[in-house]
Structure 1
Amino acid sequence: TYTGSILVAVNPYQLLPLYTVDQIRLYCNKRIGELPPHVFAIADNCYFNMKRNKRDQCCVISGESGSGKTESTKLILQFLAAISGQHSWLEQQILEANPILEAFGNAKTIRNDNSSRFGKYIDIHFNHNGVIEGARIEQFLLEKSRVCRQAPEERNYHIFYCMLMGMNTEQKKMLNLGTASEYTYLTM
């Protein structure tokens, strides 16, 4: 639902058919309130205010752990990449940066299997025609203590498990590595 121009959303913890290319087309060039509340409506509003007023826009995504902030961010990026016009390798690079950031900055917690343990600021640069021409992603507030200790039933950052699971026995032997269960820092 909306509170003014603010979208109040709930994480359904399941895939819903609300984020398709057809939905992107549906919400493109619509005013807030013309269609049911949706994260694409917020992204569209920002994009067209930027183009119309020639002024920077900002989306602040806030909420409790597990509320869907990371997913909402990815959906806004997906929408902007789709409507900006070019569909070039640049938009694809921006979208594909997320799994890398998540590997190094997300971990399993008791509330969320893919919990962001850092904040990020994404600055997307558009040219005068509204086409994405660059981006800058800054991270801050990384939960550094998680590297050394995690609460019961929680895990370290995904990257450590990905590295170990992605290596075959020969590669692990060459690097003198074992399985995740052999490392105190990698609780399972």
Structure 2
Amino acid sequence: MLKRSGIKTVVPFLTLIFLSIIVFGGFGRFLAFGLFWGNRLGAPYWFVLAIFSLVISYLIVYLIVLRLPKAEYGECAQRSISISIFVILPVAFVGIYAEVLRRQAIAEFEPDRVFQNLFWVSLHNAPRDWQFYLHAGAMKDCVPYAWSYRAMGMYELKESVMFNVLPSKWFDECGIKPYYLE
């Protein structure tokens, strides 16, 4: 059986693992985004926004959470709440920022057809070795495009990929046949 000191450590750590699964799709992905994949978001000033949100997180924890009355396991709850704030707030700030920038850029691109996935869904699905997931896809003048968060813009899809990731209806409307059916 765990003693109180062990619970004070284990429960907050389990909170971090749980949040990592919910927000990033896994604890390993949480570590990878934090340690290795930070350069995969090309949004200007996103890092400043992340630091700003961490400062706000600290203020919330210091001014509110640490002042909550402590019950028998109050310190454990405070740690879990603090971890939750430090994980969720930066992801929310940066996610909303990236989402707004993507929507603006796609609106300026003026595609004929478009679909967009939420930034939060992208955290769970990208990056993958074999990319069959798009953050957003578009068709403009019957040319297929996809969204890149790294470049913060649309790029033209290769013919070998476009039929796997975009709606087939778009190709039918443009009269484009898959290269393997010609």
Scaled to the shorter chain, the TM-score interval is under 0.3
Normalising to structure 2: TM-score of the pair?
0.25
Compare the two structures and name the one with the higher helix fraction: 2
Normalising to structure 1: TM-score of the pair?
0.25
Higher RCO, 1 or 2 (CA under 8 Å, sep at least 6)?
A: 2
